[in-house]
Protein backbone atom coordinates (compact mmCIF):
# COMPACT_ATOMS: atom_id res chain seq x y z
CA UNK A 1 0.00 0.00 0.00
CA UNK A 2 1.21 3.52 -0.76
CA UNK A 3 3.19 4.99 2.12
CA UNK A 4 3.49 8.51 0.77
CA UNK A 5 1.77 10.57 2.01
CA UNK A 6 2.27 8.88 5.35
CA UNK A 7 -1.13 7.39 6.27
CA UNK A 8 -2.93 8.26 9.51
CA UNK A 9 -5.58 6.22 11.26
CA UNK A 10 -7.29 8.57 13.70
CA UNK A 11 -10.08 7.79 16.14
CA UNK A 12 -12.64 10.49 16.88
CA UNK A 13 -14.27 9.55 20.16
CA UNK A 14 -16.77 12.43 19.82
CA UNK A 15 -18.80 12.93 23.06
CA UNK A 16 -17.78 9.54 24.43
CA UNK A 17 -15.03 8.88 26.90
CA UNK A 18 -14.47 9.10 30.64
CA UNK A 19 -11.53 8.06 32.77
CA UNK A 20 -12.54 4.39 32.54
CA UNK A 21 -12.21 4.62 28.73
CA UNK A 22 -8.45 5.07 29.12
CA UNK A 23 -8.32 1.27 29.41
CA UNK A 24 -8.93 1.14 25.66
CA UNK A 25 -5.81 3.24 25.09
CA UNK A 26 -3.73 0.93 27.28
CA UNK A 27 -5.15 -2.05 25.39
CA UNK A 28 -4.45 -0.50 22.01
CA UNK A 29 -0.90 0.44 23.00
CA UNK A 30 -0.35 -3.16 23.99
CA UNK A 31 -1.74 -4.52 20.72
CA UNK A 32 0.45 -2.16 18.67
CA UNK A 33 3.62 -3.27 20.44
CA UNK A 34 6.12 -4.89 18.13
CA UNK A 35 3.87 -4.79 15.07
CA UNK A 36 4.92 -3.03 11.87
CA UNK A 37 2.05 -0.83 10.82
CA UNK A 38 2.74 1.57 8.02
CA UNK A 39 0.66 4.40 9.42
CA UNK A 40 0.48 6.91 12.23
CA UNK A 41 -2.13 6.27 14.92
CA UNK A 42 -4.10 8.90 16.81
CA UNK A 43 -6.97 9.07 19.26
CA UNK A 44 -9.00 12.25 19.75
CA UNK A 45 -10.85 11.85 23.07
CA UNK A 46 -13.00 14.45 24.83
CA UNK A 47 -10.81 17.34 25.98
CA UNK A 48 -11.35 16.50 29.65
CA UNK A 49 -9.24 13.35 29.32
CA UNK A 50 -6.60 14.55 26.84
CA UNK A 51 -3.93 14.83 29.51
CA UNK A 52 -4.71 11.41 30.97
CA UNK A 53 -4.94 9.90 27.48
CA UNK A 54 -1.52 11.32 26.65
CA UNK A 55 -0.17 9.68 29.80
CA UNK A 56 -1.88 6.38 28.95
CA UNK A 57 -0.32 6.49 25.46
CA UNK A 58 3.14 7.27 26.84
CA UNK A 59 5.82 5.06 25.33
CA UNK A 60 3.48 3.90 22.55
CA UNK A 61 3.07 5.22 19.02
CA UNK A 62 -0.40 6.57 19.76
CA UNK A 63 -0.71 10.33 19.37
CA UNK A 64 -3.45 12.31 21.06
CA UNK A 65 -5.58 14.92 19.32
CA UNK A 66 -8.54 17.14 20.18
CA UNK A 67 -11.92 17.53 18.50
CA UNK A 68 -12.33 21.29 18.07
CA UNK A 69 -10.67 24.57 18.97
CA UNK A 70 -11.57 28.25 19.15
CA UNK A 71 -10.20 30.77 16.65
CA UNK A 72 -8.55 32.76 19.47
CA UNK A 73 -5.87 31.51 21.87
CA UNK A 74 -7.27 33.01 25.08
CA UNK A 75 -9.83 35.44 26.39
CA UNK A 76 -13.48 35.84 27.30
CA UNK A 77 -15.02 32.82 25.54
CA UNK A 78 -16.78 30.84 28.24
CA UNK A 79 -16.76 27.11 27.68
CA UNK A 80 -14.46 27.21 24.66
CA UNK A 81 -10.98 25.72 24.36
CA UNK A 82 -8.11 27.24 22.41
CA UNK A 83 -5.41 25.46 20.45
CA UNK A 84 -2.92 26.74 23.05
CA UNK A 85 -4.92 25.12 25.86
CA UNK A 86 -5.26 21.84 23.97
CA UNK A 87 -1.56 21.80 23.21
CA UNK A 88 -0.80 22.42 26.87
CA UNK A 89 -3.03 19.44 27.76
CA UNK A 90 -1.01 17.20 25.45
CA UNK A 91 -2.74 17.31 22.05
CA UNK A 92 -0.60 17.31 18.91
CA UNK A 93 -3.53 17.75 16.53
CA UNK A 94 -7.09 19.01 16.44
CA UNK A 95 -10.07 18.11 14.27
CA UNK A 96 -11.75 21.20 12.81
CA UNK A 97 -14.93 21.54 10.75
CA UNK A 98 -16.39 18.14 11.56
CA UNK A 99 -19.84 17.92 9.97
CA UNK A 100 -21.38 17.51 13.43
CA UNK A 101 -19.94 20.88 14.43
CA UNK A 102 -20.93 22.41 11.10
CA UNK A 103 -24.50 21.12 11.70
CA UNK A 104 -24.82 21.53 15.50
CA UNK A 105 -23.04 24.90 15.77
CA UNK A 106 -23.51 26.39 12.31
CA UNK A 107 -19.77 26.42 11.62
CA UNK A 108 -18.93 27.92 8.23
CA UNK A 109 -15.93 27.31 6.00
CA UNK A 110 -14.57 30.71 7.03
CA UNK A 111 -14.77 29.82 10.73
CA UNK A 112 -13.17 26.43 10.10
CA UNK A 113 -10.37 28.17 8.22
CA UNK A 114 -9.73 30.46 11.20
CA UNK A 115 -9.74 27.48 13.57
CA UNK A 116 -7.23 25.64 11.37
CA UNK A 117 -5.03 28.76 11.34
CA UNK A 118 -5.28 28.94 15.14
CA UNK A 119 -4.18 25.28 15.35
CA UNK A 120 -1.25 25.93 13.01
CA UNK A 121 -0.11 28.91 15.02
CA UNK A 122 0.31 26.60 18.03
CA UNK A 123 2.10 23.91 16.05
CA UNK A 124 -0.91 21.58 16.07
CA UNK A 125 -1.88 19.53 13.04
CA UNK A 126 -5.30 20.65 11.76
CA UNK A 127 -7.48 17.75 10.62
CA UNK A 128 -9.87 19.64 8.37
CA UNK A 129 -13.15 17.81 7.66
CA UNK A 130 -15.28 18.14 4.55
CA UNK A 131 -18.22 16.14 3.23
CA UNK A 132 -21.45 16.35 1.28
CA UNK A 133 -24.98 15.62 2.50
CA UNK A 134 -27.14 12.93 0.91
CA UNK A 135 -29.23 15.60 -0.82
CA UNK A 136 -26.11 17.14 -2.33
CA UNK A 137 -24.88 13.73 -3.52
CA UNK A 138 -28.26 12.90 -5.03
CA UNK A 139 -28.27 16.26 -6.81
CA UNK A 140 -24.86 15.47 -8.36
CA UNK A 141 -23.20 18.31 -6.45
CA UNK A 142 -20.65 16.29 -4.49
CA UNK A 143 -17.44 17.39 -6.21
CA UNK A 144 -18.52 21.02 -6.35
CA UNK A 145 -19.46 21.02 -2.65
CA UNK A 146 -16.19 19.38 -1.66
CA UNK A 147 -14.13 21.79 -3.75
CA UNK A 148 -15.87 24.72 -2.09
CA UNK A 149 -15.32 23.36 1.41
CA UNK A 150 -11.68 22.50 0.76
CA UNK A 151 -10.88 25.91 -0.74
CA UNK A 152 -12.89 27.75 1.92
CA UNK A 153 -11.61 25.84 4.96
CA UNK A 154 -7.86 25.78 4.30
CA UNK A 155 -5.89 28.74 5.68
CA UNK A 156 -2.67 30.08 4.18
CA UNK A 157 0.41 28.02 4.88
CA UNK A 158 -1.06 24.51 4.79
CA UNK A 159 1.46 21.73 4.26
CA UNK A 160 1.86 18.02 4.95
CA UNK A 161 3.36 18.71 8.40
CA UNK A 162 0.50 20.83 9.68
CA UNK A 163 -2.57 19.69 7.74
CA UNK A 164 -4.63 16.56 7.12
CA UNK A 165 -7.90 16.60 5.18
CA UNK A 166 -10.68 14.17 6.09
CA UNK A 167 -13.43 13.42 3.57
CA UNK A 168 -16.48 12.35 5.53
CA UNK A 169 -19.74 12.11 3.58
CA UNK A 170 -22.36 13.29 6.10
CA UNK A 171 -24.72 10.44 5.16
CA UNK A 172 -22.04 7.82 5.84
CA UNK A 173 -21.31 8.96 9.40
CA UNK A 174 -22.67 6.59 12.01
CA UNK A 175 -25.11 5.11 9.48
CA UNK A 176 -23.37 1.91 8.49
CA UNK A 177 -23.52 3.16 4.90
CA UNK A 178 -20.36 3.84 2.93
CA UNK A 179 -19.76 5.13 -0.57
CA UNK A 180 -18.34 2.57 -3.01
CA UNK A 181 -14.58 2.37 -3.29
CA UNK A 182 -14.93 4.05 -6.71
CA UNK A 183 -16.93 6.93 -5.21
CA UNK A 184 -14.35 7.40 -2.45
CA UNK A 185 -11.52 7.33 -4.97
CA UNK A 186 -13.33 9.86 -7.17
CA UNK A 187 -13.69 12.39 -4.36
CA UNK A 188 -10.18 11.84 -2.98
CA UNK A 189 -8.61 12.19 -6.43
CA UNK A 190 -10.64 15.38 -6.91
CA UNK A 191 -9.39 16.79 -3.59
CA UNK A 192 -5.83 15.83 -4.52
CA UNK A 193 -6.20 17.73 -7.80
CA UNK A 194 -7.62 20.78 -6.04
CA UNK A 195 -4.87 20.98 -3.45
CA UNK A 196 -2.01 20.29 -5.86
CA UNK A 197 -3.25 23.02 -8.16
CA UNK A 198 -3.56 25.39 -5.18
CA UNK A 199 -0.33 24.47 -3.37
CA UNK A 200 1.83 22.77 -6.00
CA UNK A 201 2.73 19.08 -6.33
CA UNK A 202 5.39 19.07 -3.62
CA UNK A 203 3.00 20.29 -0.92
CA UNK A 204 -0.42 19.28 -2.24
CA UNK A 205 0.83 15.82 -3.15
CA UNK A 206 1.99 15.11 0.40
CA UNK A 207 -1.01 16.16 2.48
CA UNK A 208 -2.73 13.03 3.84
CA UNK A 209 -6.35 12.57 2.78
CA UNK A 210 -8.39 10.48 5.21
CA UNK A 211 -11.69 8.80 4.52
CA UNK A 212 -14.28 8.81 7.33
CA UNK A 213 -17.80 7.43 7.66
CA UNK A 214 -18.69 3.94 8.95
CA UNK A 215 -15.14 2.61 8.65
CA UNK A 216 -15.01 -0.82 10.32
CA UNK A 217 -12.47 -3.64 10.52
CA UNK A 218 -14.50 -5.40 7.80
CA UNK A 219 -14.29 -2.62 5.19
CA UNK A 220 -11.06 -0.82 6.16
CA UNK A 221 -8.71 -2.70 3.89
CA UNK A 222 -10.86 -2.10 0.82
CA UNK A 223 -11.45 1.60 1.60
CA UNK A 224 -7.81 2.28 2.52
CA UNK A 225 -6.70 0.79 -0.81
CA UNK A 226 -8.73 3.34 -2.81
CA UNK A 227 -6.78 5.88 -4.86
CA UNK A 228 -5.58 8.87 -2.85
CA UNK A 229 -6.86 7.51 0.46
CA UNK A 230 -4.15 7.95 3.09
CA UNK A 231 -5.87 6.67 6.18
CA UNK A 232 -9.13 6.90 8.07
CA UNK A 233 -10.99 9.07 10.54
CA UNK A 234 -12.99 6.62 12.60
CA UNK A 235 -15.89 7.31 14.93
CA UNK A 236 -17.80 4.44 16.53
CA UNK A 237 -15.27 1.76 15.69
CA UNK A 238 -12.48 3.70 17.44
CA UNK A 239 -14.09 3.38 20.88
CA UNK A 240 -13.01 -0.21 21.41
CA UNK A 241 -9.34 -1.14 21.06
CA UNK A 242 -10.19 -4.42 19.32
CA UNK A 243 -12.19 -2.72 16.56
CA UNK A 244 -9.78 0.17 16.12
CA UNK A 245 -6.84 -2.20 15.98
CA UNK A 246 -8.73 -4.19 13.32
CA UNK A 247 -8.78 -1.04 11.18
CA UNK A 248 -5.10 -0.23 11.79
CA UNK A 249 -4.31 -3.75 10.57
CA UNK A 250 -5.23 -2.57 7.04
CA UNK A 251 -1.70 -1.08 7.13
CA UNK A 252 0.04 -4.24 8.32
P1 LIG B 1 -18.40 6.74 12.28
O2 LIG B 1 -17.10 6.00 12.04
O3 LIG B 1 -19.04 6.41 13.57
O4 LIG B 1 -19.30 6.64 11.09
O5 LIG B 1 -18.00 8.31 12.41
C6 LIG B 1 -17.16 8.88 11.46
C7 LIG B 1 -16.76 10.22 11.92
O8 LIG B 1 -17.56 11.13 11.98
C9 LIG B 1 -15.38 10.42 12.36
O10 LIG B 1 -15.07 11.75 12.53
User: DSSP secondary structure string, the chain?
Assistant: ---SSPPEEEEE-TT---GGGHHHHHHHHHHHTT---SSEEEEE--GGGHHHHHHHTTTSSEEEEES---SSSSSS-TT---HHHHHHHT-SEEEES-HHHHHHH---HHHHHHHHHHHHHTTPEEEEEE---HHHHHTT-HHHHHHHHHHHH--TT--TTTEEEEE--GGGTTTS----HHHHHHHHHHHHHHHHHHH-HHHHTTSEEEEESS--TTTHHHHHTSTT--EEEESGGGSSHHHHHHHHGGG-
> How much is the pLDDT for 58?
97
Q: What percent of the chain has pLDDT over 90?
A: 97
Q: Is the pLDDT of residue 246 over 60?
A: yes
List domains and CATH numbers for the chain.
8-17+39-55+62-251 (3.20.20.70)
Convert the pLDDT of each residue in 197-243 to its tens digit.
Answer: 999 999 999 999 999 999 999 999 999 999 999 999 999 999 999 99
> How much is the pLDDT for 3?
54
Q: Is the pLDDT of residue 190 over 70?
A: yes
Of residues 79 and 34, the one with the higher pLDDT is: 79
Farthest-apart Cα atoms in the chain, separation? 48
Q: How far is the CA of 78 from the centre of ligand 1 (A)?
A: 27
Nearest atom in ligand 1 to the alpha carbon of residue 212 is 6
Q: How far is the CA of 12 from the centre of ligand 1 (A)?
A: 7
d(CA 24, CA 240): 6
Q: How far is the CA of 44 from the centre of ligand 1 (A)?
A: 12
> How much is the pLDDT for 1?
37
Pocket probe mutation, ligand 1, options 13, 235, 247, max atoms within 8 Å of Cβ: 235
CB of 60 closer than 8 Å to CB of 35 = no
Q: Is the pLDDT of residue 60 over 80?
A: yes
Q: Would you call 98 a catalytic residue per the annotation? A: yes
Q: Is the pLDDT of residue 64 over 70?
A: yes
Catalytic hit among 98, 120, 188, 190 = 98
> How much is the pLDDT for 4?
81
> How much is the pLDDT for 134?
97
Convert the pLDDT of each residue in 1-58 to its tens digit.
Answer: 345 899 999 999 999 999 999 999 999 999 999 889 999 999 999 999 999 999 999 9
What average pLDDT does range 84-98 have in this prediction?
98
The number of CA neighbours under 13 Å toward the Cβ of 7 is: 27
Q: Would you call 168 a catalytic residue per the annotation? A: yes
Convert the pLDDT of each residue in 137-174 to its tens digit.
Answer: 999 999 999 999 999 999 999 999 999 999 999 999 99
* Sign of the CA dihedral with 22 first, then 27, 31, and 34 last: positive
Amino acid sequence: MANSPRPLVAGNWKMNGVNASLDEIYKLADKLKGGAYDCNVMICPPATIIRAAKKAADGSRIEIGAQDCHTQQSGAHTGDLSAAILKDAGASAVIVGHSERRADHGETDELVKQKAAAAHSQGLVAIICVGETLEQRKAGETLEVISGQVAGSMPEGCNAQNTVIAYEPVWAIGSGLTPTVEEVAEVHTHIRKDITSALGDAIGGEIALLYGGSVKPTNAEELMAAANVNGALVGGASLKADDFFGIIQAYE
